[in-house]
Structure 1
Amino acid sequence: MQVTPSAAGHRSGFVALIGRPNVGKSTLVNQLVGDKVAITSPVAQTTRNRLRAILTTDEAQLILVDTPGIHKPHHLLGERLVQSARSAIGEVDQVLLLLEGCEPPGRGDAFIVNLLRQQRLPVQVVLNKWDQVPTAQRPEADAAYRDLLAESGWPIHHCCALTGEGCPELVQAVSALMPEGPQLYPPEMVSDQPERLLMAELIREQVLLLTREEVPHSVAVSIDRVEEMPSKGKGGGRTAVLATVLVERKSQKGILIGKGGAMLKAIGQGARLQMQTLIDGPVYLELFVKVVPDWRSKPQRLAELGYAEEGR
């Protein structure tokens, strides 16, 4: 990796975004980077991989580590996701703790706060979705979270990841606490993740958006083949992507395919448009659906899908 020489005063480092599921971590990553890097969905526990996005400014380069939401796991996959999020805390220079400012703090928030208090890392707090808090209720909401964070000394920022409100100030605050160092990535890069992983995530995002609670977290996507088609002839110049969507039950397969294949077609169309933006070119996408009973509790299957146990 080519490293840019350090300019005087330039800062760089890694920032882990930590919080409960569905507090807006992935939305904030996309907002800060200014590009679609992490998938988002109204469904909780959308993020499964510790995705790294890169934000480069004149003053600093921040590598944002978007982690799975910390929650009480109900299967082996859930255990590994929480393990992934917790291990990220020990591998970064700074932590952004995201809390849902429009809701009162709960036991899950208190658990994460206590977890972070055991670390010797700079922590900054983001009260996200602040635009959803009525102006008259903001002092009360702010006070409730300050009680939760009492004696921590962590700075608190009020933001809206969806609109960008408060985000420029947040970037300045995070940059100021980073150690001095060179750019670790070329300034035009927004992610260091393999293209295949991003493609799989874009397909899974469409499944979550279009099926919602009917097929919640029983879905995984594997990219079976990616190849460039010859520039001449029918379909020439396109990138061909073949992918398999895994589910746990036959009924879920039926939902994903839909009547006359309509649902699978809609999923493919949505994912293909996102992929074309990702690779900046036309895409031919073919999807298959496969039933693998109880795949979320099978270590070998999880490893094949990239959810290996941390440290292995």
Structure 2
Amino acid sequence: MPNSSEQPSRCGYVAIVGRPNVGKSTLLNHLLGQKISITSRKPQTTRNNVTGIKTEGNDQLIFVDTPGLHLNQPKAINRYMNRAASTAMKDVDAIVFVVDKLQWTDEDEMVARQLEHVKCPVILAVNKVDQLEDKEVLLPHLQILSQKINVAEIIPLSALREINIDRLEQLLLSYMPESVHLFPEDQITDRSSRFMAAEIVREKITRQLGDELPYQMAVEIEEFKHDGNLLTISALILVERDGQKRILIGDRGERIKLIGQQARLDMEKLFESKIMLNLWVKVKSGWSDDERALRSLGYNDFQQ
């Protein structure tokens, strides 16, 4: 048997695309075996392209988790998310197009039309098949999908239950070019620690509030300071109206306290450090439709 050093190394980029709330971030986290992309049941939780890196032996897959592509673009932040997702489709070696079990919506159709112009292989991942009570309906649906979009392969899977995840990964590796690795083998993302901290806070807010708080909420890290084994993180939460601020803080501050507790636990796992987390809430009217405000909050980054 030749040793691993005699095998060619493979490395390439894979974009994970689809409409909101089909499970793209969950798929990325389970492919990596580690959580780096925030998740919730609320559509459009992901706002930025988030890169996850998986290295095993001579193989390195660089995944780009994208915001959900959506038709309704009333505000600057919605347009930003669509631009970020569309940009991720360029110059990658393969694309995973995620759809939700038996559904096919106008937004799925929009994504399919964008993918008509890409040069790399596209794999259609039919997610959440574990939720189907009658599995016999799946095959006819896959046949219908094969007529709607020209793809290299269609794979039914469950990101959450890790059904067919290995099959997807092996197929993706077959499309990766021979190449030196672009990242160290122990690196799992190219995003900064500040970005990851802000995303954790935003996830806990989204999960806590569900539909109570609209999308006009952002998190900005104002302090990120190490002192021995203590990491102090101060996060500013921006909302657009006083009523949203009251909802977020909750009765006697109980809701913001719970958000902070949950975020701190995740941060301690991620940063492997004791965390002192400070949260503030500020009203900044109109930030989600203000291009300058979005840039100041970091929504100007279309990197892979």
C-alpha distance in 1, partners of 2:287/2:92?
31
User: How far off its partner does 1:91 sit?
Assistant: 2.9
**CA–CA separation in structure 1 for the residues paired with 2:36 and 2:301:** 24
Match of 1:155 in 2: 153
* Deviation of the 1:58 alpha carbon: 2.7
Q: Which whole-Å CA distance do the structure 1 matches of 2:242 and 2:236 have between them?
A: 15
Unaligned runs of 5+ in 2: none
Matched, 1:222 2:220: yes
Task: Report the equivalent of 2:110.
Answer: 111
- Is structure 2 residue 248 aligned with structure 1 residue 252? no
Are the counterparts in 2 of residues 208 and 216 from structure 1 also a CA contact under 8 Å? no
Residue 125 of structure 1: how far off its partner (Å): 1.1
Please say if residues 100 and 127 of structure 1, whose CA atoms lie closer than 8 Å, have aligned partners that are also in contact: yes
Q: Once the two structures are aligned, what percentage of the paired residues are identical?
A: 34
TM-score w.r.t. length of structure 1? 0.92
Q: Tell me, yes or no, if structure 1 residue 194 matches structure 2 residue 186.
A: no
- For the 8 Å contact 1:80–1:310, the answer to whether it is kept is no
Task: Output the amino acid matched with 2:172.
Answer: V
Pair 1:60-2:59 in alignment: yes
TM-aligned CA deviation for residue 226 of structure 1: 1.0
Q: CA deviation at 1:188?
A: 1.7
Cα distance in 2 for residues equivalent to 1:68 and 1:106: 17
Aligned residues: 298
Distance 2:302 2:97 in 1: 22
CA positional deviation for 1:203: 0.1
In structure 1, list runs of 5 or more residues that go unmatched: 232-236
Structure 1's consecutive aligned runs of 4 or more residues displaced over 4 angstroms after TM superposition are none
For the residues of structure 1 that align with 2:5 and 2:299, how far apart are their CA atoms? 35
- In structure 2, relative to structure 1, the CA distance for the partners of 1:84 and 1:7 (3 Å cut) is farther
Normalising to structure 2: TM-score of the pair?
A: 0.94
Judged with a 3 Å threshold, the aligned counterparts in structure 2 of structure 1 residues 301 and 6 are, in CA distance, closer, same or farther, namely: farther
Deviation, structure 1 residue 89:
0.8
Aligned to 2:177: 179
Q: How does 1:212-291 map to 2 (within 5 A)?
A: 212-229=210-227, 231=228, 237-291=229-283
The secondary structure found in structure 2 opposite 1:174 is helix
Shift of the alpha carbon at 1:238? 1.4
* Residues 19-45 of structure 1: CA deviation (Å, up to 9, x unaligned): 000110100000000001000000000
Which among 196, 200, 205 is matched to residue 203 of structure 2?
A: 205
Alpha-carbon distance between aligned partners in 2 of 1:191 and 1:171, rounded to the nearest angstrom: 18
Give the letter aligned to residue 243 of structure 1: A
Contact 2:20 2:69 in 1 (8 A): yes
Q: Is the alpha carbon distance of 1:303 and 1:28 closer, same or farther for their aligned partners in structure 2, counting shifts above 3 Å?
A: same
Distance in 2 of aligned mates of 1:144 and 1:207: 38
In structure 2, relative to structure 1, the CA distance for the partners of 1:242 and 1:284 (3 Å cut) is same
Deviation at 1:7, TM superposition (A): 5.4
- Within the alignment, does 1:295 sit opposite 2:287 as a pair? yes
